[in-house]
């Protein structure tokens, strides 16, 4: 079974620029999550999708972050404009159904550096 795919793996941008990350979850997984992991901290949930609908985006900084999941499969997370404090690893995860969402499968992450 293929795992969660993410791209790019690394990205360096200057502050005020925009950036986009892509995620392809495990086939058949209905629930998709985006997390932000700052160095030395645990992952923090940004947004949760159930199929192509948003279930929880309470911790997403909506003035600069946006995410979409078209057709209930792939997802993109965008930051515009980026700030220095956005430097982090952005992890995508998926789970089969929301009722067993403690079992999440994570991708390798995209390491973002904002200079």
What is the SS3 assignment for 107? Answer: coil
Given the rule CB under 8 A, which of 15-23, 65-73, 80-88, 104-112 is the region that contacts another protein? 104-112
Phi first, then psi: give them for residue 91, nearest 5 degrees.
-105, 135
Contact between 114 and another protein (CB under 8 A)?
Answer: no
CA distance 22 to 26: 13
Residue partners of 42: CB distance under 8 A and separation at least 6: none
Judged by CB under 8 A, the chain residues 22 through 51 that form the site for another protein are: 33, 40-45, 48
Q: Give the interface size with another protein as a residue count (CB under 8 A).
A: 24
45 - beta bridge partners?
Answer: 35
CB of 114 to another protein, least distance (A): 19
Cβ-based nearer residue to another protein, 16 or 44: 44
């Amino acid at each position: 079974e293929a795992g969660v795919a993410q791209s790019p793996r690394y990205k360096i941008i200057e502050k005020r620029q925009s950036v986009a990350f892509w995620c392809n979850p495990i086939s058949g997984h209905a629930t998709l999550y985006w997390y932000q992991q700052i160095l030395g901290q645990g992952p923090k949930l940004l947004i949760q999708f159930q199929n192509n609908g948003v279930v929880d985006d309470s911790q997403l900084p909506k003035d600069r972050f946006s995410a979409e999941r078209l057709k209930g499969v792939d997802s993109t997370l965008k930051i515009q404009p980026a700030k220095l404090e956005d430097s982090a690893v952005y992890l995508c995860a998926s789970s089969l159904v929301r009722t067993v969402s403690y079992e999440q499968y994570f991708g390798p992450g995209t390491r973002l550096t904002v200079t």
